[in-house]
A and B are shown apart, each in its own frame.
Chain A
Amino acid sequence: MNRVPINLNVNGKATRSDVEPRQLLVHFLRDTLGLTGTHVGCDTSQCGACTVHVDGEAVKSCTLFAVQADGASVTTIEGLAHEGRLHALQEGFWEMHGLQCGFCTPGMIMSAADLLAHEPDPSEEQIRHALEGNFCRCTGYHNIVRAVRHAAEANARGASSEPVVAADD
């Protein structure tokens, strides 16, 4: 099949690739770039496991062809920690036991990050509404709600998160 060149900035790094026009962004990220933190949980764009940020907005990366993202900046879960520190949501999910099997977690965190960017102090109802496009089969969402609140409160306090290196130990 013919291939089309695309230019993307992924997690702050410029990449240039030739892709099949039918390749979905999620498969480009996973298979071509090896960024396997973004997951695929369905084939009908419901589960949200594949959520990434495209030009700052949460997008289900299974709903987009890679070619449609040409020229865009993409952030995946691997690029969320900033200057060696966990993102407040990564910290919140860890602190509040907001994950069990971890499969929904990257997408869940990316969606929640979008929420906090638009609404820094969301109510339980706002959190539940914002995350209704992300399925979690393990947690019953209880601790996910707490995790997002934890992050919102930490942000409000200006608290700094744990360094990623410590987390990697």
Chain B
Amino acid sequence: MSDKYFGKPVKRVEDPRFITGTGHYTEDMTLPGMAHAAMLRSPYASARIVSIDATRALAQPGVLAVLTGKDLLDAKIGSIPTGWLLPDLKTPPHYAIAPEVARHVGDVIAAVIAEDRATAEDAVALLDVELEPMDAVALGSDALAPAAPQVHPEAPGNVAFEWEIGDAAAVEENFARAYRTVKLTLRNHRLVPNAIEPRASMAQYQKASDEFTLWTTSQNPHIHRLLLAAFVLGIPEHKLRVISPDVGGGFGSKIFQYPEEVIVLHAARKLNRPVKWSARRSESFVSDAQGRDHETVAELAVDEHHKVLGLRVKTVANLGAYLTTFAPAVPTYLYGTLLNGTYRFPAVHAHVTGVFTNTVGVDAYRGAGRPEATYVVERMMSRMAHELGIDPAEFRRLNFIQPDEFPYQTPVALVYDSGNYEPALDQALERVGYAELRREQEEARARGRYIGIGFSSYLEACGLAPSKLVGQLGAQAGQWESAVVRVMPTGKVEVLTGSHSHGQGHETAFAQIIADDLQIPMEDVSIIHGDTGRMPYGWGTYGSRSAAVGGSAMKMATAKILDKARRIAAHLLEAAPEDVVHEDGKFFVRGVPANSKSFFDVALMAHLAHNIPDDMEPGLEAQHFYDPKNFVYPFGTHVAVVEVDADTGRVKLLKYVAVDDCGPMINPLIAEGQVHGGIAQGVGQALLENTVYDEQGQLVTGSFMEYAVPRADDLVQFDIGHTVTPSPHNPLGVKGIGEAGTIASTAATANAVIDALAPFGIAHLDMPYTPERVWRAIQAARAQTQQAADD
């Protein structure tokens, strides 16, 4: 092994195609004879489909077919399944095209296939559809009300599941002897992921061989193939190839199997022509799985030494109209298990009710459950510090799990393998210039300027996941990863991975690992991903798993290559393998570097097989399936500094410091880029982004006109630091970094805003901190103070 590349900020090898406009995204592709699909979507949140008359649409020149829910049922196309089961989970059917009832604005009611996209879209407008609108419900807690409209007959009271974790009695006991408790009602509002590339799918059917190819915007093509083949379309799995080419961002939203993929595959078979569909952004808003949407009541208790005694959490999680692929896992095992944070909480209990509503499905969005948990824990820690009148950083420090306590068993199932939380906090305090900043804050307040400083000493569990463990928890999938390292006769190397890159730079970072281990130039290594026709079975990219799980699979496969290469070299050198060393890219007998074999020599001989040991197979290729032993636990401290304009309510981000520990970084350029993007999304949630449904379930924020994605001038240059605590259980020591920024930053920013508002006596305010909301809160607080003064 060399360290020529690992840990270096190597420029990305994928960039040349993107900066010259020669990337290949699904929407860029065309096939001869290709037709286009367009969807008719429900304009109502709940409606009975009385009739669909396609006569006028079909009469249009260029219109090839109209598909309805009944057509798909007649063709024996099944319901889209969820991939995670909880005890007593209600799993009402989710058909690609709603046959009888549309359950959210955007639910597909019919599809038109035509010669070109414009014709298809025009024909959608010519479908004569009679819909009978029904009462709808959009808010989770509203759906639990006794008289609430019922979303599915299979889920009485709209309850999908009730779930709990932790020891309720222990929490009760600790609260009984508490010195102080605080309680907050917290709304973690709903977000739209908004990858800048809208979803797209193109299907091709080969009649002679009865084979399908689907190009689609997927983070995990094998999961798509499995669900589409085995559960929905009934295609034999080996007859469906799923290719996910360049993908323009995912953030979770491209994990899931969606209706449109079913529709284009079915249409391609029916018409025996390639069929493509691409989402308009307005469709993305009503059809991409959304994120968050929790209503929570949380209570925290401390003793007289300010040590936390317990945390009690009750959450209503809005799941939307249908359970998407990982929906049940997100507000349960990815949320409840994280409620211990970085602290010694002797007792934690959480109860979660998963609720159906007439809204778009809610599933994993960057962080998936962990930002929600971090928001609860970190918001409560700051609230308590304020209540106790002590510094929020010091309150955190006082309650941190100590470095000698690992492995640490939390009261909510997880065993943290490693951690060292204080150095990250200290570095963050130093970077932000904490003492000085607090002085500035004081002075500013005296002059009527309101600066706030917010902390988030987060932890997350990622690197999904030990398969046996998640299997016990309800996962209907394995969560290992695979790699094939294929050495060619010329010594060039192709690595096939089940991980998928949609911005993460795998083609670079993974090549760095392999090139170092094989001691060859990075240019000699290609990383291949995103094609079930080429790669070994793999579970894709989500849950910050690519480096820790996918990278480890590669590292192990490469070790097999090296082992065999060494034996071939030993044979050629007429030496024992244990006497052969691998240095500077050469194999030689220890102490005799003059007589050596290069990697090329060995690769060539492995393929010629003219002179290899008698008991050895020819070739030089190795595969490894890596199942992690545990999650990995990245952590760190983020500090946000904001200023609130009390006259306008406008919140301005002044400064942002992030100190993260993701173990050793394969490529700091890429790792820090992940942190930047993560912070932007977390700050976006706290300050700007909000998904608003009205009482009829209409999406009020259905475009970029109403939904505020952070723009360049909303943000600042971030100050990024690191500490390095390797994971003890994977061969690279790496932990995930893809989601950490988002997990930490929402809470840090929220705490900063509340800190800024403290002089007004505001103890809490729900996100997002739009000028109107902040201004109203200040007005209300001022009126109250005035009132008190008058009384």
Residues of A within 8 A of B (CB): 20, 22, 30, 35-44, 46-47, 49, 76-78, 80-81, 86, 90, 93-95, 97, 99-106, 109, 124-125, 127-129, 131-145, 164, 167-169
Contact = CB atoms under 8 A, between A and B. Distances in A.
Main secondary structure of the interface of A (DSSP, over half): loop
Interchain residue pairs A-B with the least CB separation, the first 4: A37-B21, A103-B248, A102-B18, A140-B680
A95 to B, nearest CB: 7
Contact of B712 (A46, A95, A141, A164): A141
B762 interface: no
A44 B703 contact: yes
Contacts of A103: 23, 25, 195-197, 248-249
B21 A77 contact: yes
Contact of A94 (B16, B23, B670, B711): B16
Main secondary structure of the interface of B (DSSP, over half): loop
A110 to B, nearest CB: 10
B592 interface: no
A78 B18 CA distance: 10
Given A102-B248, A138-B249, A140-B679, A93 B15 contact: yes
Contacts of B673: 97, 100, 138-139, 143
A99 B16 CA distance: 11
Tier of interface size on chain B: 35 or more
Interface in B483-508: 502-505
Given A140-B676, A143-B673, A132 B713 contact: yes
Given A97-B673, A140-B679, A41 B196 contact: yes
Given A41-B281, A137-B196, A137-B681, A76 B670 contact: no
B198 interface: yes
A40 B18 contact: no
Nearest to B282: A43
Contacts of B615: none
B712 A127 contact: yes
A39 B217 CA distance: 15
Interface in B1-44: 9, 11-12, 14-25, 27-28
B703 A140 contact: no
B123 interface: no
Task: Name the residue in B24, B195, B196 with the highest tally of chain A Cβ atoms < 10 Å from its Cβ.
Answer: B196
B533 interface: no
B704 interface: yes
B677 interface: yes
Contact of B20 (A97, A142, A164): A164
Task: Name the residue in B17, B281, B703 with the highest tally of chain A Cβ atoms < 10 Å from its Cβ.
Answer: B281
Nearest to A49: B196
Interface string B532-567: 000000000000000000000000000000000000
Contacts of B704: 42, 44, 46-47, 135
Given A44-B705, A101-B196, A142 B718 contact: yes
Contacts of B641: none
